[in-house]
Structure 1
C-alpha cells in the first residue's frame, strides 16, 4: 500500500472500470458513474487516497482513509473518538481470489492501531456489502438515512494485524472463485 500520485490516475481508472464490468455482469450496482471522480482523486494534496500495488507496478486496489467520517452517520460521542474512516475501496476483480478488499481493510485496521487510533469505521449502501464487511471483522453499528439513501454504518476496533501471519495460519485463505 502506498499513497497515490497523479501518475496513478490512468491505472486506477482502468482497474475501476474492470470492477465496473464485473459488477454489471453480476447484476450489481456499478461504480461507473464515479470512475472519473475516483481516479481523479489520485495525487490529491491530502494524501488520503491509497493504492495497493502488486509486484511493485500493477495497481490492484484503491481506497480512501480519512480522519473524519460523515457527520450524519455517527453520534457526537463516536465522532469524538479517534477513528480512521475507510471508504471508496475498489479492487481488481481479476485478483478477487486473493481477497484484496479484506487485505486493504485489515491494513487500515493495523495502520489505525499503529497511530494509536481506537476505531476504523466505514459505511456502505448495500446490505450485501455490509455482510461482506462483517466477514472482515466490522460490526453494524446502525443504519442512517441521508437524503434518499440508507447507509449501513460499520466499525471495528483497531488492532495490530500481522498480515503475513494471517496468510501463514490460513485465517485469510484465497477464495475459490466461481463466477
Structure 2
C-alpha cells in the first residue's frame, strides 16, 4: 500500500473528488444530518479551486480513497480581517471513502494539510465545521484543534471555527508523497 496525495488535474479527477464527497453526503443524510446541505452549488463554486490546484485526492496506489480542498484564503464571512491577514491555509470538503473509514485517513489528510501549510510559511491551518455537528467538533478538539468561536450568522449553517498550528507531519506509518507538480 502506497498512499499518495496530489492535486486533481482535470475534470475526470474533479468528478472523482465529487464522487467521494457525494458518497459521504449520502452517508450523512442516512443518519439524519443536514451537513453540507449546500453541496449542489459546489460544482460551480469549486471550478476555481480545481483550476488553482486546491482540490487534492488521496490515492492508495491507483484507487482514490479521499479528498480535501486546501486554500490559502479564508471565507471573510467567518474569519476576521486580522485572521485573514495571518498566513494560514483553510481546509474544506474533506471526505474519505466509506469502505476506508476507521483507518485514520481523515487524520492523515489533516496532518498533511498542516504540513503543506507549514512548508508554505503558514502559521495556522484552519477550518469551519457544520455548527450542529457536535460529534465532529469533539473529533477536532481531540485531535489538537482549538475552537475559536461559532458564527452567529443565521444565513450560514457552517461556522464552528477551528485552527491549529501548522507543523511538519513527522514520520508516518505509510509513505505519503505529494506530487512534485505542486511544489512551491
Q: TM-score range by the shorter chain?
A: 0.7 to 0.9
User: What residue number does 2:52 align with?
Assistant: 46
1:19 & 1:12 partners in 2: Cα distance?
A: 11
Matches within 5 A, 1:155-174: 155-164=163-172, 167=173
The structure with higher relative contact order (CA 8 Å, sep 6+) is: 2
2:149 & 2:89 partners in 1: Cα distance?
A: 18
- Match status 1:19 vs 2:17: no
Cα gap change, 1:71/1:154 in structure 2, threshold over 3 Å: closer, same or farther? same
Q: Is the 8 A contact 1:127 1:152 kept in 2?
A: no
Q: Is the 8 A contact 2:58 2:67 kept in 1?
A: yes
Question: TM-score, normalization: structure 2?
Answer: 0.78
Q: Is the 8 A contact 2:21 2:93 kept in 1?
A: no
Q: Is the 8 A contact 1:110 1:161 kept in 2?
A: yes
Shift of 1:4: 0.3
For residues 3-52 of structure 1, what are the alpha-carbon distances to aligned partners after superposition, in whole Å with 9 as ceiling and x for unaligned? 00222133333323322332233333354762673598478211111111
Aligned length: 165
Question: TM-score, normalization: structure 1?
Answer: 0.79
Unaligned stretches of 5+ in structure 2?
175-184
Query: Quick check: 119-128 or 143-152, which moved more?
Result: 143-152
- Match status 1:153 vs 2:161: yes
Question: What SS does the corresponding residue of 1:23 show, helix, strand or coil?
Answer: helix
Matches within 5 A, 1:95-106: 95-106=100-111
Counterpart of 2:81 (choices 76, 84, 91) is: 76
Q: Is the 8 A contact 1:106 1:136 kept in 2?
A: no
- Match status 1:142 vs 2:146: no
Counterpart of 1:92 (choices 97, 104, 109) is: 97
